[in-house]
Structure 1
Amino acid sequence: MSRNKRHNRSTAFATEPRKNLPAEAKTLIANARNDITIPFFSGVLQNADDTLIQQGGGKGLKIYDEIERDTHAGAMLEKRKGALISRDWKVEPGGERPIDKDAADLVEEMISALPFDQVCKDLLDATLKGFAVSEVVWAREGNRIKPVKIKSIDQRRFAFDTEWRPRLLTWTAMMEGIELPERKFIVHRVGVKGENPYGLGLGSRLFWPVLFKREGITFWLHFLEKFAGPTIVGKSPIGSLPEEQRKLLNTLTEARTASAVVVPIGTDAEFLEASRSGSVTYEQFLNYWDRQISIATTGETLTTQVSESGGNRALGEVHQEMLELLADGDGDLLSGTLTDQLITWIVDYNLPGAAVPKIWRERPENQKAAAETKKSQAEADEASAKAIRTVVSESARFEDDDVARDYILGFDIANRLSDKTLDALVEARHAFGTAPAASDPFVNGDPTFAARPLKKKA
């Protein structure tokens, strides 16, 4: 299409009458009120987590607290949180105006006065349960309004309405909850899909590995008990009365911890030792589920467990990078929550009209990799400088400046030089010239040199 045609088309489009936008285009048709995936819809939305619905047994999110009590699962969750919390946080202005920079300074000052790492760690509880809620306590200080306390609240105390606003469940409003004021409760969500304001955390995936592991430990303890104290089999004479058999049973039961026992004549007692065959052990079963927990939580295993095959350093670094990527994602989500809620509220209270600054946690630079990169760059720069000196030194053989310049430009190393630098090198090329080399007797035709005996080194 030619330039004139494009111009005529845009002009014609500008002169067309404004068209009305259909009302349906400005609203959400597939909303929470007609969402068939939301169970037991009422005035508030219900959690759509299948694990909670099928296995909760009325406990709700409390079943995910049991996951944190597992030593390995709890450690993995803390490790994932720690990978992000250990990073330094920064505040970046939302614009270039003086008021925008003042807003960033104000936010940084107020955040520094809070136990910000603990605040972030509490909100990261959403990683397990899908969402987390913290309440902000505000106070006036001079002409400023600042958050003085941010407290984590149990998720089981909240429900969400169709607009995803939190509602506090109380003794008088156990189902619908009560309406809450604005700029008061921070809600952090992960795994949000569709019209589910409760999110979907790792608890839905970790529930089964932790449950199977717990059951495996129960069977292992039972086996150890049987192995440590073998079962005693008592054989009573045929025709013994039930009372005599019960008495013998009580006697044999006490014999498990006694050093001696008395049984009637004609009674046979023997020990039944616990035994099994095969290579599969309870420990292997539990280690399998520990690996599944590690993979589900941190995406890797080598930073926590030693591989049976030994592993290697390169693979370990890859696994560490996977953990860092998960921390990057957690940080982006948390940064969005804090920016959209807490940071926005601080700016609206104190500097309305200023651009909202952004707060985030930056991944620490890999010091070793940075050092190796700098070393390689320094070696490359030194090699380039040496090559340039050699080329300029050789160009001193030419008296004509233009010829010397063309000679230098004939090497790729000169492509990065500016015209000003190149002119300076051409002008000073004779200073780069090396001292005359020693005369070569073979070239100068000294016939006696070849016949001279070589001097032996002392």
Structure 2
Amino acid sequence: MDRDELLRQIADHTSDPSFVLGLSQLPNPDEVLRKAGLSHQVYDQVLTDPHVMSKVIDRRAGLLRREWQVKAGGDAAEDLKAVALCEQAVADLEEHEEYPLENSLGILQEAALRGHRALEVVWRRTGGGWLPEFLRDIPNRRLIHTGVQWRLLTIDAPSHGIDLPQRKVLLATHMASTDNPYGEALLSRCYWPYLFKHNGLKWWVTLAEKYGLPWIIAMLGGQTEEAQRRELLSKLVAMAVDPVTVLPKGAEVDFKLIEGVSPDVHDRLIRISNAEISKVLVGQTLSTEMDGSSGSRAAAETHSGLRDEIVEADGKLVARVMNRLFAWITELNLGPTVAPPKFVWIEEYEPPREWSLIAARAIRSLPGKVPLRWAYDKFGIGEEYREDQDMVAPLVGGGGEAGADFARDDGAFTPQQQALEALAEKSAGAARQILAENEAKLLTVVENASSYEEAMERLLDVYPELATEDLEDLLARTLTAATLYGRYTAGEETAEDDHDADA
């Protein structure tokens, strides 16, 4: 086997008969841009559409509301050092005033909208090491692809560009391929619906102006001069705005509505255009095309499910680029042999166990006062329920209407039953005291908090102080005593039955 042959590329641009060698840059092969004779700068124009921007914001908000963490690439001490370095780096980037990390993550997500997006890493030396000071976005007009590599256009090289320096440019591409290394731009697929929609809006306004108001028709008797007709026409035009006018003697004015003209065709055109835009950007149309045949709940559930899948895909794209940054940080500071950490999005449907416990305690502490939408938001249950304003019902413990007491007759207790009842009463009293102390601590924290978010954060600090171990110990001792006593009384009853049988 010729191993050199395994290393050789046979399907790159250099062997493509359709590729012209010597090109300084490969033109963007986007079919929409090419046929319309446009450049990628038309994307900015498409973004001026309110419907387009609303869906872009919806998609961006879905990603940025998710939480993330830095996960170690290994268990070695050097691997943990890499985690600390990357955590410090992202913490510094989050606090940067001009280029905050949140904005950088949103720019990387824009690769799906524009085909590709890039960030320049501006480094700084700190404590003998290297960390990124901030991430600055690079406009797409500054980037070209030669068919082999990306290049950056500069003042000194405005046509051919320069090679991208190592560890300086973070590049994200969306559905890039050999024929289209620039990536597939979703905004390109929105161009024709955007154009048809705005042309339809223009004609719709013209239609409303032309046929929405009645036609004012005036008749002049006898021979009239052209100047008189023009003067009368100017007065009629003024009547479209002002309700009063002065007409020459003998002039007759009539108002006629034009029948048979329907604006529905333009309404349908705009609706179809908005629906196509929604399909491209957020993968759904149900909430856009609702006409009374579908319920709003079904539309919201469909929208939430499809959008979440798209946001998850955007998250993978962003994480892939951030992992490249973590690899650079690790290599510059600890060497190439250390496993770099990973940028990991936290799955919202798996909230940390501590949050679930504390939320349950908080709800018990404020029966009837905690809205369900707050719990939905904390646990990422889904935005289709966000308008739900129902309140969590107070929790009823023990028996009563919410529970079921053990069946018993109204007769007198036997000594054994009385002993068990006394044990239960004693244990319940001790448990109530422990729970009351815990409840007092929780209520103090919640009442002094100014918001649900602040209450949750402060409850995290107070949670280790709750007397859960005392309660567990009490329950364990009570169950043990009840079990042993039950076995003893069962043995006594068996012995009595045997004695009666012998007698």
Change beyond 3 A, Cα 1:156–1:279: closer
Q: Which residue pairs with 1:75 in the alignment? A: 54
Change beyond 3 A, Cα 1:29–1:180: same
Distance (Å, rounded) in 2 between the aligned partners of 1:271 and 1:315: 45
Q: Which residue pairs with 2:192 in the alignment? A: 208
Change beyond 3 A, Cα 1:33–1:252: farther
Distance (Å, rounded) in 2 between the aligned partners of 1:310 and 1:433: 65
Deviations 1:4-42 (A, max 9, x none): xxxxxxxxxxxxxxx32353x422222234556779971
Change beyond 3 A, Cα 1:112–1:206: same
Distance (Å, rounded) in 2 between the aligned partners of 1:117 and 1:37: 42
Between structure 1 and structure 2, the one with the greater Rg is 1
Q: Which residue pairs with 1:334 in the alignment? A: 318
Mapping 1:352-431, distance limit 5 Å: 352=335, 353-365=337-349, 431=487
Q: Which residue pairs with 2:34 in the alignment? A: 53
Identify unmatched segments of 5+ residues in structure 2: 95-100, 352-374, 382-483, 495-503
Change beyond 3 A, Cα 1:131–1:252: same
Change beyond 3 A, Cα 1:216–1:175: same
Deviation, structure 1 residue 261: 3.4
Q: Which residue pairs with 1:349 in the alignment? A: 332
1:96 is matched with which residue: 61, 75, 81?
A: 75
Aligned: 1:124 with 2:109: yes
Distance (Å, rounded) in 1 between the aligned partners of 2:127 and 2:25: 40
For 1:72, give the aligned amino acid: H
Q: Which residue pairs with 2:177 in the alignment? A: 193
Deviation, structure 1 residue 347: 1.4
Deviations 1:147-193 (A, max 9, x none): 011111221122123333232244x5433223342211211111212
Greater shift in the superposed pair: 287-296 or 237-246: 237-246
The answer to whether the 8 Å contact 1:40/1:46 transfers is no
The answer to whether the 8 Å contact 2:115/2:185 transfers is yes
Greater shift in the superposed pair: 321-330 or 271-280: 271-280
User: How many residue pairs are counted as aligned between the two chains?
Assistant: 359
Q: Which residue pairs with 1:183 in the alignment? A: 167
The answer to whether the 8 Å contact 2:23/2:146 transfers is no
The answer to whether the 8 Å contact 1:168/1:179 transfers is no
The answer to whether the 8 Å contact 2:348/2:380 transfers is no
Could you say what secondary structure the match of 2:11 adopts? coil
For 1:332, give the aligned amino acid: K
Distance (Å, rounded) in 1 between the aligned partners of 2:65 and 2:92: 18
Change beyond 3 A, Cα 1:275–1:105: farther
Change beyond 3 A, Cα 1:347–1:269: same
Mapping 1:268-347, distance limit 5 Å: 268-276=252-260, 280=264, 282-301=266-285, 308-311=292-295, 313=297, 316-340=300-324, 342-347=325-330
Deviation, structure 1 residue 243: 4.3
Mapping 1:240-255, distance limit 5 Å: 240-255=224-239
Change beyond 3 A, Cα 1:293–1:65: same
Change beyond 3 A, Cα 1:258–1:85: closer
The alignment's C-alpha RMSD in Å is: 3.4
Deviation, structure 1 residue 67: 1.9
* Greater RCO, 1 or 2 (C-alpha within 8 Å, sep 6+): 1
Distance (Å, rounded) in 1 between the aligned partners of 2:291 and 2:346: 30
Change beyond 3 A, Cα 1:41–1:280: farther
Change beyond 3 A, Cα 1:271–1:89: same
Aligned: 1:108 with 2:91: no
Stretches of 4+ moved more than 6 A in 1?
36-41, 366-372, 432-437
Distance (Å, rounded) in 2 between the aligned partners of 1:301 and 1:317: 12
Deviation, structure 1 residue 283: 3.8
Identity percentage over the alignment? 27
Distance (Å, rounded) in 2 between the aligned partners of 1:107 and 1:67: 37
Deviations 1:213-271 (A, max 9, x none): 21222222223323564333344568655444434433332332333334445654433
Change beyond 3 A, Cα 1:75–1:176: same
Deviation, structure 1 residue 324: 1.2
Question: What is the TM-score with the length of structure 2 in the denominator?
Answer: 0.63
Distance (Å, rounded) in 2 between the aligned partners of 1:432 and 1:296: 73
Distance (Å, rounded) in 2 between the aligned partners of 1:130 and 1:102: 35
Change beyond 3 A, Cα 1:235–1:62: farther
Q: Which residue pairs with 1:408 in the alignment? A: none
Q: Which residue pairs with 1:407 in the alignment? A: none
Q: Which residue pairs with 1:27 in the alignment? A: 8
Distance (Å, rounded) in 1 between the aligned partners of 2:165 and 2:172: 17
The answer to whether the 8 Å contact 2:143/2:150 transfers is no
Could you say what secondary structure the match of 1:246 adopts? helix
The answer to whether the 8 Å contact 1:188/1:337 transfers is yes
Q: Which residue pairs with 2:125 in the alignment? A: 140
The answer to whether the 8 Å contact 2:153/2:159 transfers is no
Greater shift in the superposed pair: 268-277 or 354-363: 268-277
For 2:33, give the aligned amino acid: L
Could you say what secondary structure the match of 2:33 adopts? helix
Change beyond 3 A, Cα 1:43–1:141: same
Change beyond 3 A, Cα 1:432–1:371: farther
Could you say what secondary structure the match of 2:278 adopts? helix
Could you say what secondary structure the match of 1:176 adopts? coil
Change beyond 3 A, Cα 1:41–1:123: farther
Question: What is the TM-score with the length of structure 1 in the denominator?
Answer: 0.69
Could you say what secondary structure the match of 2:338 adopts? coil
The answer to whether the 8 Å contact 2:14/2:21 transfers is no
